[in-house]
A and B are shown apart, each in its own frame.
Chain A
């Protein structure tokens, strides 16, 4: 009888110990609010020591979440790149419009959760806005000089789309590849993932959308001012984001990389300006001059010769 009592008492102690542990794990789970609800993860790593362990279990939970990401052939994989709310997208756009020297876009606004919604739809909007406003300048030109024949110029939509999408996806690919190659040189700061680079470039193109609309105003020096302002904001955002990663490298590599990034951005802006926006004819233009105002339309966007005109 005494032995049975002792056994019963011992089991009750073990049960109370387990019950004492599990409520702690339950509280850390409710604090974390993991979006996919990996309950089992927290129960495994939960402990009853205190606050530091809560942080550790937080990290462990995040790591296990990443390990359990679905394969790239499933729909869920791509859904993880569109896991953003309206407020988050607006916050990222604001962050790209107002770059600040200390604030890294990736760490501050993306918080290492890149999305594909922003880059994709900003590029689509920019391509259509470019084609439409470029067409509108033709309308304005025709009102000044009735001999110009108005046409919808639909092929410019295709050109705009291909240019913008290639720029926003191939240049980050090249940049990411370059950074990963250089990563072997300095092992300290990890470079950004491919998606984060695409995100930075995509959101940095947002500032061009209002600029392109403002280029409708037919005052040349104002157009150049807006263009320079947009380019400065956009390139500054890129440079501030890339600086922490690049500053560990040799001085030569850092300056070459940053100046290439800024140069490519400038080329894109100028190419768009020259290809999609033809200069307005003067008020009293003679018919022979009409023929010379048409060829600038057909310049391909990225010829360096266009910068000299």
Chain B
């Protein structure tokens, strides 16, 4: 690199060379010193960041992710028009919620009847393929939300329904009867409405106004089917 810098500044050599012959040997990066100064601070900062997340303890990593998930849970429970769910999306929360819900909804393996509640795989498939279908639908309608952001929002907004499932399971420990059913129905309806409001608060802005209803209706259908599965859950 040093030789190329010296080649144009070599006057008075034996062979006559054309003017500016050595210019092509100069690499631009060292000809403009500003470029080197700009890159150096960034590089060191990035290196610092890498080493800090690689060398931290496992507990720190897990707690940081759990805190992020917990913060998003709070955003779902108290839906305001904020961008947190959309900006730092993650799929850990939806995975935790989906697995919890599917574990609680599955019928027992001892069940020999052909018609019973859904299996774990059926719930899992309905939730994930339902969310993917709704996301594709909203993107095809011309929404400006990214694929994973939409999956994140839809998955996180299952939280009220998971709470409803927990409550229903507790209520089912008491004796069955019409009051039991009324309580469960009330809880599921309230949580269903909460899910719809929460997801609409995040998703509605991404669609043009003349297509909002078209994008929101599949979300309604999705949460309705999940609510139905929760309501019809019968313990064996």
Which residues of A come within 8 Å of B, CB atoms?
75, 78-79, 81-87, 89, 117, 121, 124-125, 128, 132, 135, 150-156, 158, 297
Q: How far is the CA of A162 from the CA of B113 in the complex (A)?
A: 22
Q: How far is the CA of A81 from the CA of B214 in the complex (A)?
A: 14
B218 touches A121 (CB 8 A): yes
Q: Kindly list the 6 A-B residue pairs having the minimum CB-CB distance in the complex, ordered from nearest.
A: A82-B140, A153-B115, A152-B232, A154-B118, A85-B210, A86-B213
A89 to B218, CA, bound (A): 14
**A151/B113 in contact, CB under 8 A:** yes
Known: A86-B213, A117-B137. A152 touches B117 (CB 8 A): yes
Selected from A84, A89, A154, the residue in CB contact (under 8 A) with B117 is A154
B114 at the interface (CB under 8 A from A): yes
* B231 nearest CB across to chain A (Å): 9
Complexed CA–CA distance, A297 and B99 (Å): 32
Known A132-B228, A151-B117: A82·B141 in contact at CB below 8 Å: yes
Q: Say whether B71 faces chain A, with CB atoms less than 8 Å apart.
A: no
Interface 0/1 of B205-236, CB less than 8 Å to A: 00000111110011001001100110011100
Bound-complex Cα distance A254 to B185 (A): 52
B108 at the interface (CB under 8 A from A): no
Closest-by-CB residue of A relative to B208 is A85
The contact string, 1 if C-beta is below 8 Å from chain A, for chain B 80-122, is 0000000000000000000000000000000001111110001
- When chains A and B are docked, how far (Å) is the Cα of A151 from the Cα of B221? 22
Evaluate contact between B116 and A154: CB separation under 8 angstroms: yes
Q: Complex Cα distance A78/B140, Å? A: 7
| Chain B residues, Cβ within 8 Å of A153 | 115-116
Any A CB within 8 A of the CB of B70: no
Q: Which of B114, B115, B225 contacts A128 (CB 8 A)?
A: B225
A277 to chain B, nearest CB (A): 15
**Would A87 and B117 be within 8 Å (CB), given that A117-B137, A124-B221 are in contact?**
no
Q: Which residues of B contact A121 (CB under 8 A)?
A: 137, 217-218, 221
Shortest CB distance B145–A (Å): 14
- Contact check, B115 vs A152: say whether CB atoms are below 8 A apart: yes
A158 to B119, CA, bound (A): 12
Bound Cα distance A297, B221 (Å): 26
The answer to whether residues A155 and B115 also contact, given A79-B142, A82-B140 and a CB cut-off of 8 A, is: yes
For residue B141, which residue of chain A has the nearest CB?
A82
Interface pair A154/B115, CB less than 8 Å apart: yes
| 14 A/B residue pairs, CB under 8 Å, sorted by A | A75-B139, A79-B142, A82-B137, A83-B142, A86-B210, A86-B214, A89-B214, A121-B221, A151-B115, A152-B115, A152-B229, A152-B232, A154-B115, A155-B115
Known contacts A121-B217, A128-B221; 16 additional CB pairs below 8 A are: A81-B140, A82-B137, A86-B210, A86-B214, A87-B210, A117-B137, A121-B137, A121-B221, A128-B224, A132-B228, A151-B234, A152-B117, A153-B115, A154-B229, A155-B114, A297-B115
How far, in angstroms, from A152 to B230 measured CA to CA in the complex?
10
* B142 to chain A: closest residue by CB: A79
Considering only CB atoms, which chain B residue lies closest to A118 in the complex?
Answer: B214
Report chain B residues within 8 Å CB of A154: 115-118, 122, 229
Contact of A152 with B211 in the complex, beta carbons under 8 Å: no
In the complex, which residues of chain B have a beta carbon less than 8 angstroms from the beta carbon of A150? 234
A154 to B106, alpha carbons, bound, how many Å? 11
* B221 near A125: Cβ-Cβ < 8 Å: yes
Residue of A nearest to B116 (CB): A151
By a CB distance below 8 angstroms, the chain B residues around A83 are: 142
**A86 closest partner in B (C-beta):** B213
Q: How far is the CA of A297 from the CA of B113 in the complex (A)?
A: 13
A217 to B116, CA, bound (A): 24
Report chain B residues within 8 Å CB of A158.
122
CB contacts (< 8 Å) of B228 on chain A: these are 132
Given contacts A85-B211, A117-B141, contact A152 B218 (CB under 8 A): no
Q: Which B residues lie within 8 Å of A125 (CB)?
A: 221
Bound complex: CA of A86 vs CA of B141, how far in Å?
11
Q: Chain B 128-142, CB within 8 Å of chain A: the 1/0 string?
A: 000000000101111
Closest to A155 in B: B115
| Residue of A whose beta carbon sits closest to that of B138 | A82
**Which single residue of chain A is at the shortest CB-CB distance from B225?**
A128
B104 to chain A, nearest CB (A): 14
Interchain nearest-CB distance for A74 vs B (Å)? 12
Bound together, the chains give a CA A276 to CA B224 distance in angstroms of: 19
Given the complex, which residues of A lie within 8 Å of B217, measured CB to CB? 121
A87 to B210, CA, bound (A): 8
Q: How far is the CB of B208 from chain A (nearest CB, A)?
A: 9
Q: Determine if B210 and A156 form an interchain contact, defined as CB atoms under 8 angstroms apart.
A: no
Instruction: State the CA gap A79–B225 with chains docked (Å).
Output: 27
- Residues from chain A with a CB closer than 8 A to the CB of B140 are 78-79, 81-82, 117
Q: What's the nearest-Cβ distance from chain A to residue B229, in Å?
A: 7
Residues of A within 8 A of B214 (CB): 84-86, 89, 117
Contacts of B233 in A (CB 8 A): 152
- Across-interface contacts of A75 in B (CB, < 8 A): 139
Q: How far is the CA of A43 from the CA of B103 in the complex (A)?
A: 63
